[in-house]
C-alpha cells in the first residue's frame, strides 16, 4: 500500500513539475534565425576588410566598408528591433550576442561616416582629428567582432551543447538502469530480490521517460520545450533507494513446518506406559 502511494505521489509530482521554459516563440525563432544570418553576413564583410588591413591597403578596406555601409545599417536595425520587441523572450546569452552585434555594426557605420567626412567648413586639423576618430571607431568595431562578440557566440553554443548533452546523458543513464535491473531480474529466483530489482527498473523508466521528453521537445519543438525534472529526479531517487536496499538485502530462511526430513526415534522404554505402584 505504501509503495503504491509513493508511486502515485511520484506521478503527481512529475506531472505538476513539468516546467515550461520559454525559449523562442515562433516569431522570435524566425527573428533570431534572421539575426544569425545577418551576423554571418557582417563577419563576411569584416573578414574582407581585415584582409586589406593586414596588407596595409586601407583604401580598399574603406571601399569595402563603404560599399557595404547599408548592410551594416540594416543589421543594426534588425538587432535593435529584436532587443526591443523580444526583450522578455530572449535568454541572457542571446541578448548579449544581439547587443554586441548592434554595438559592432554601429561602430562600423560611425567609423565610415567619420572617414568619409569632407566638410569644407572644417580646418585641416579638424579633418585629421575627425578621420582619426573614424579609425578609432572602426578599430572598436573590429575588436568587438573578433573579441567579445566571437566569445559570446561560442559561449552561447557551448551552453546549448551542454544542456543538450545533459539530457542525452539522462537517456543513457535511464537505459542502463533498466537493462541492468532487467538482467538481474532474469537471473534472480529470490522473490524479495525481484521486488527490489523491479523497483530499480521502474526508477530507470522514470529517468528515461523524463529525459526523453525533455530532449525531444528541446531539440525539435518550436516555441517552448519542457524540462520534465520531476520524473527524472523521482526515478533517480527510486533507483538509488532500490539499489541500497538490494545491497543490504538478506534473504529469509524458509522454515519447513513438517518434520518429514527428521526421523524421530522413541526408545522402547519410553514407549511403554508407566504403571502406578
Whether residue 148 sits in one domain with residue 49? yes
Whether residue 35 sits in one domain with residue 136? yes
Residue 87 belongs to a domain: yes
**Gyration radius of the chain over CA positions:** 36
| Percent of the chain at pLDDT exceeding 70 | 79
Q: How far apart are CA 183 and CA 201, in angstroms?
A: 10
Whether residue 190 sits in one domain with residue 152? no
Residue 253 belongs to a domain: no
Categorize the per-residue pLDDT at 276 as very low, low, confident or very high, splitting at 50, 70 and 90.
low
- For residue 224, the SS3 value is strand
**Residue 199 structural domain:** 2-20+164-248
Domain limit, last residue, from 145, 162, 179 = 162
- Please state the length of the chain: 277
What is residue 63's predicted lDDT score, i.e. its pLDDT? 93
Q: Which parts of 118-251 fold into alpha helices (H)?
A: 124-143, 149-187, 191-220, 229-248
Whether residue 176 sits in one domain with residue 55? no
Domain limit, last residue, from 162, 190, 225 = 162
Whether residue 134 sits in one domain with residue 230? no
Residue 272 belongs to a domain: no
Residue 156 belongs to a domain: yes
Whether residue 115 sits in one domain with residue 241? no
Residue 268 belongs to a domain: no
Categorize the per-residue pLDDT at 150 as very low, low, confident or very high, splitting at 50, 70 and 90.
confident
User: What is the longest distance spanned by two Cα atoms in the chain?
Assistant: 153
Instruction: Give the CATH number of the domain where residue 143 resides.
Output: 1.20.120
Other Cβ atoms within 10 Å of 254 Cβ, number: 5
Grid coordinates 548592410 are at which residue?
71
pLDDT tens digits, 41-83: 999 999 999 999 999 999 999 999 999 999 999 999 999 998 9
Whether residue 146 sits in one domain with residue 33? yes
Contacts of 40 by beta carbon, 8 Å cutoff, 6+ apart:
none
Query: Is the pTM value of this prediction over 0.75?
Result: no
Amino acid at each position: 500500500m505504501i509503495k503504491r502511494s509513493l508511486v502515485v505521489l511520484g506521478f503527481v509530482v512529475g506531472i505538476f513539475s513539468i516546467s515550461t521554459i520559454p525559449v523562442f516563440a515562433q516569431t522570435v525563432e524566425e527573428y533570431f534565425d534572421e539575426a544569425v544570418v545577418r551576423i554571418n553576413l557582417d563577419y563576411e564583410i569584416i573578414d574582407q576588410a581585415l584582409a586589406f588591413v593586414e596588407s596595409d591597403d586601407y583604401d580598399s578596406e574603406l571601399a569595402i566598408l563603404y560599399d557595404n555601409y547599408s548592410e551594416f545599417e540594416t543589421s543594426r536595425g534588425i538587432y535593435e528591433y529584436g532587443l526591443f520587441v523580444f526583450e522578455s523572450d530572449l535568454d541572457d546569452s542571446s541578448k548579449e550576442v544581439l547587443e554586441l552585434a548592434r554595438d559592432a555594426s554601429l561602430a562600423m557605420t560611425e567609423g565610415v561616416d567619420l572617414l568619409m567626412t569632407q566638410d569644407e567648413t572644417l580646418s585641416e586639423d579638424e579633418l585629421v582629428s575627425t578621420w582619426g576618430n573614424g579609425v578609432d571607431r572602426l578599430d572598436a568595431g573590429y575588436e568587438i567582432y573578433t573579441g567579445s562578440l566571437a566569445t559570446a557566440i561560442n559561449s552561447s553554443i557551448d551552453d546549448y551543447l551542454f544542456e543538450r548533452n545533459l539530457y542525452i546523458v539522462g537517456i543513457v543513464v535511464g537505459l542502463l538502469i533498466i537493462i541492468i535491473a532487467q538482467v538481474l531480474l532474469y537471473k534472480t529466483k529470490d522473490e524479495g530480490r525481484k521486488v527490489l530489482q523491479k523497483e530499480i527498473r521502474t526508477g530507470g523508466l522514470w529517468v528515461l521517460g523524463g529525459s526523453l521528453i525533455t530532449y525531444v521537445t528541446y531539440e525539435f519543438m518550436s516555441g517552448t520545450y519542457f524540462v520534465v525534472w520531476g520524473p527524472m529526479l523521482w526515478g533517480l531517487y527510486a533507483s538509488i533507494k532500490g539499489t541500497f536496499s538490494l545491497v543490504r538485502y538478506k534473504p529469509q530462511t524458509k522454515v519447513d513446518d513438517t518434520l518429514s526430513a527428521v526421523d524421530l526415534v522413541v526408545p522402547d522404554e519410553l514407549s511403554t506406559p508407566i504403571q502406578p505402584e
